[in-house]
Amino acid sequence: ANEADLDLAVQVVQYALKIYQTEPLSRQVKKQVLPSADVIEQGKDGLKEYVKQNCGPVYHPVGTASMMPREYGGVVDPSLKVYGTSNLRVVDCSIVPIVSPHI
Report the C-alpha gap between 96 and 91 in whole angstroms. Answer: 10
Report the C-alpha gap between 90 and 79 in whole angstroms. Answer: 9
What is Dmax (Cα atoms) for the chain? 57
Active site residue 83: no
Active site residue 102: yes
Report the C-alpha gap between 51 and 78 in whole angstroms. Answer: 40
Annotated catalytic residue within 18, 30, 31, 60: 60
Annotated catalytic residue within 24, 91, 102, 103: 102
The burial of 23, by beta-carbon neighbours within 10 Å (0-12 exposed, 13-18 middle, 19 or more buried), is given as: exposed
Point out the residues that are catalytic. 60, 102
